[in-house]
Amino acid sequence: MIGGLEGIAAQVEELDAIFDNGLVTFDETGALEPSPRLDPFHRMLLGLADDTPLRLRWISSQHKPFLAWHRQHAFQS
């Protein structure tokens, strides 16, 4: 993971690989945003099929620039 911020995705450990591959990202408030490229079957397997929002427990000021970079450069929108 870029920038040594493994702690971000470790909060939602099962999503680490798809975060690294840009299939999910987190907005500026920490809410998870799945990529439209993540098909419904895989969303269901990951527990993302319902409307229950997933959110990071906390975001430090050090995480925010990395998350912004991830949304702009790694996320598959």
Local confidence pLDDT in tens for the 77 residues of the chain: 444 455 444 445 667 888 999 999 999 999 989 999 988 888 888 778 777 778 888 889 999 999 999 999 999 99
What is the structure's pLDDT at 12? Answer: 53
What is the structure's pLDDT at 4? Answer: 47
Range of the domain at 19: 2-74
**Burial (Cβ within 10 Å: 0-12, 13-18, ≥19) of residue 71:** middle
**What is d(CA 75, CA 62) in angstroms, rounded to the nearest whole number?**
19
Total count of domains within the chain? 1
In this prediction the pTM is 0.76
**What is d(CA 23, CA 37) in angstroms, rounded to the nearest whole number?**
7
